[in-house]
Amino acid sequence: MMAGRPVEIAMDPASGLTAILNTRSVHLLDITSGAEVARVPTGATSYTGLAFRPANPKAEPGRMAPAREIWISETSRNGPDSLAIIPLQDRKPGEIRRIRLSGHVVPTGIAFSPDGASAWVAFSDRAAIALINADTGAIIRQISTGMVPYAVMVSAKHNRVYVSNRGGRKPRPEETKALSSRTEVVSDPVTGATTTGTLSVIDMTSYQEAQIDVGLAPAGLALSPDESTLAIANAHSDSVTFVDLQTLRTTEVKVPAWPEGSFGAEPSASAFSPDGKRLYVTCGGSNAVVALETDRGKWQVKGAIPVGWFPTAIAVDSAGSLRVVNVKGVGRTLGPEGAHNSRAHEGSIWKIPPPTDSTLRNGLREAKSANAPKFTPAEGVESLSRLGIRHVFLIIKENRTYDQVFGDMPKGNGDPKLVMYGREVTPNHHALAETFVLLDNFYTGGAISFDGHQWLMQGFVSDYVERAFAASPRGYAWNMADALTVSPQGFFWQDPSRPLDIRLYGPFSEPITWDPATKRAVDIDGSRLPAWSEYWKMYQERNWHGKLGHRSGVPALQKLINPDFPPSSMNIPDVLRAEIWLEELAGREKSGQMPNLLIFTMTSDHTMGTRPGFPTPRAMVADNDLALGRIVEGISKSRFWPHSLILVTEDDAQDGVDHVDGRRTIALAIGPHIRRGLLDSNHYNHSSLIRTIQDIHRIQPRVRYTATARAMNSVFTTRANREPFTAVEPRVSLTEMNPPARALSGRQLWAARQSMRLNPNNVDDFPAQIMNRILWGEAKGWGTPYPGERSLPKRHTP
């Protein structure tokens, strides 16, 4: 196991070292034993970019000399970027030095010329690859590639450099486009996903570049030992493209996803066996390595090996043994303090002996079984589509664990000592859980907002996202305003055979403002939004009309957006969002028209810590609670209630601790066909919630995660109870404000100063461990120790 999120691997047989690229470090392991030789701290690493620099072959004729350096791509959300260089002497790392890169180029893949004199480095945000003098660090030239270059491979035999371009070719003027960071890519007009993938082929003498079409989201490259074949793992096509390097002809081979016919194997890296007759492919979506073999020039699936959670990198040693890097390890969320938190990342490195044919056959059977689970029947309703539910309201909130809110409910599996926003702060959450169903075994799909919203919107998270947690260097696209994050299968409601009426209130949002001079909406940076107090005044005076709005970060979804609804910003109270919706509901009462699926985001329960100028954390959570209560009350007293279902959850649980698991969170199911007064401890998660909506509307699941998810049938009943809900006023004032910093001292002053670093429009760009301690101190008292092992009950296994 390895703390952090390891994403890449490189081997240097001459020195006997394996290097692992981790979140903010490089680990050096002994190739044979796997023992750690050294750990070198670095800056925030890119999502790929790790290579040993070869020694000059003339130095020791006739034998391979140990590598002289390790190069690492470093970047952060907004730069600066660099290449970190670790010198090696007798397997020991020396003092790190850096090549500082101009601008936010986002360096990714690295490869060296055979003599180590030159480095080729992909600049992801420049659609270019740089040729660098490895001794001086000078950039000799930059050569244009396709969009969002990723991995780099050098072939001395063919005198070429190969680059995988995740964003494909450059768009033509007439094509639909979407942004990935600051780069336009060709995108699908319905889903918003990228529609091309290419391989750049660069002659190392003339520097001429040509491109070959491959699958979607081409990622890792593998060169056969005889340099006759290049393999490209296509993460969004569930395939591998083989390129004959003599003719540049391609053959695409599908990599299976399970259950059969679904999408989501996510092959992202590969490595050839020493004889070149077998290719091992890491499949992050299947938690497996799939083996392909060639028979008379034709590649086909030979078998598989189950590995850890989301493998992203692989290497094969001279004996044929595998090393597999798993980003998430076994999913352990127990932090160093003893409490579970979703940001307690832990990956793993597996060593696997050379797989035999029998190993691959048995592994394939195990991988198929693990990826197509069979659930035992639960109580409730077997066929959800027969309940007559026509309108599903999905409300997505921010960042709370189960114990933080519901730990004080005796009938559930909670820890009262971890409650921070109990009944006094969240009376509507408690009343709804008591009136309908308390779900005490429900989990988020992701760890933070970056992946949490993506799980909820498409039941899928790309390998590109799973790798990028260290720095999110191409943008923190929680709203999926990056075409590379979008599944080629689209969003969970997109089924051509079942067109639904959809309305979106906040998901995918980017802020806009109204320009009275031009009478047009204008995109703005979130920092230009008015202060919280201004929006509170709008709420009190009910004069928000024409002053709020947002657009979709996914252009293909713009027609589904309510452009007058507030963007997802902490400056805007949730009760204002509720009032805007209730005003719309009144109009729908008169028309009798209500969409089939409505998705809302409400953000106040994230809080702004103790930042002056904002309400206290408990006031912001109370605001979120009251808004939820009012929305539910409005729907329950409307003409639509008999045919409605309201589902509520958090996008993640990162800003708190839980005694069961760091991803355990709040979920509510509300409606006439929901069983009342029930405790339901069935294991459910975000994918279960999505599958429930799909089953109600008879939408065919297309990605493997939702295809295998357990729908929440147990919470439903065929006997409808149409009794409405009445919202409860919290005892906490919504205008209880954080005091100014000048009035504070000690830990409270520290907390206020730390909270001032929070960006209201990008609140996750802040150390979670600091935010959690601020919220804990504010809720429990600044003298109360943060949860540790001795103060927590024995770990409960979900």
Q: Is the pLDDT of residue 289 over 70?
A: yes
Q: Is the pLDDT of residue 567 over 60?
A: yes
pLDDT at 547: 85
CA-closest candidate to residue 351, choices 327, 374, 324: 324
pLDDT at 791: 41
The CB density around residue 778, as the number of other CB atoms within 10 Å, is 21
Query: What predicted TM-score, i.e. pTM, was given to this entire model?
Result: 0.94
DSSP 407: T
Q: How far apart are CA 11 and CA 388, in angstroms?
A: 59
DSSP 187: B
Work out the burial of residue 246: count CB atoms within 10 Å of its CB; fewer than 13 is exposed, 13-18 middle, 19 or more buried: exposed
E strand spans, 245-354: 250-254, 267-272, 278-283, 288-295, 298-306, 309-316, 322-329, 346-352
Q: What percent of the chain has pLDDT over 70?
A: 95
Whether 503 contacts 562, CB under 8 Å: yes
Q: Is the pLDDT of residue 525 over 70?
A: no
DSSP 174: T
Q: Is the pLDDT of residue 529 over 80?
A: yes
Whether 578 contacts 601, CB under 8 Å: no
pLDDT at 769: 83
Q: How far apart are CA 529 and CA 511, in angstroms?
A: 8
Position of tokens 């290049």?
A: 230
- Residue type present at position 442: F
Q: Is the pLDDT of residue 561 over 90?
A: yes
- Residue type present at position 657: V
DSSP 382: S
pLDDT at 512: 75
The predicted-structure confidence for 598-649, as pLDDT tens digits, reads as follows: 999 999 999 999 999 999 999 999 999 999 999 999 999 999 999 999 999 9
Three-class SS of 491-539: CCCCCCCCCCCEEEECCCEEEEEEECCCCEEEECCHHHCCCHHHHHHHH
Q: What percent of the chain has pLDDT over 90?
A: 83
Q: Is the pLDDT of residue 57 over 70?
A: no
Q: How far apart are CA 716 and CA 46, in angstroms?
A: 45
Q: What is the mean pLDDT of the chain?
A: 93
Q: Is the pLDDT of residue 796 over 60?
A: no
The predicted-structure confidence for 375-407, as pLDDT tens digits, reads as follows: 876 789 999 999 999 999 999 999 999 999 999
Q: How far apart are CA 430 and CA 669, in angstroms?
A: 12
The predicted-structure confidence for 59-74, as pLDDT tens digits, reads as follows: 454 567 888 999 999 9
650: left (phi over 0), alpha (psi -120 to 50) or beta: beta
DSSP 633: H
Q: How far apart are CA 124 and CA 147, in angstroms?
A: 8
Average pLDDT over residues 679-707: 97
Confidence of residue 788 (pLDDT cuts 50, 70, 90): confident
pLDDT at 768: 79
Point out the least confidently predicted range of 197-206, 331-340, 653-662, 750-759.
331-340
Question: What six digits make up the tokens of 497?
Answer: 């055979």
CA-closest candidate to residue 279, choices 248, 300, 258, 296: 300
| Cβ contacts of 609 within 8 Å, gap of 6 or more | 617, 751, 754, 755, 758, 771, 774, 775, 778
The predicted-structure confidence for 411-448, as pLDDT tens digits, reads as follows: 999 999 999 999 999 999 999 999 999 999 999 999 98
Whether 397 contacts 602, CB under 8 Å: yes
The predicted-structure confidence for 182-203, as pLDDT tens digits, reads as follows: 899 999 999 999 999 999 999 9
pLDDT at 339: 83
Position of tokens 């077997």?
A: 382
Strand pairing of 678-680 and 437-439? Answer: parallel
pLDDT at 362: 97
Confidence of residue 515 (pLDDT cuts 50, 70, 90): low
Q: Go through the chain and tell me how many residues it has.
A: 798
pLDDT at 58: 60
Of 140 and 522, more confident: 140
pLDDT at 693: 98
pLDDT at 520: 60
| Cβ contacts of 583 within 8 Å, gap of 6 or more | none
Confidence of residue 524 (pLDDT cuts 50, 70, 90): low
Whether 423 contacts 408, CB under 8 Å: yes
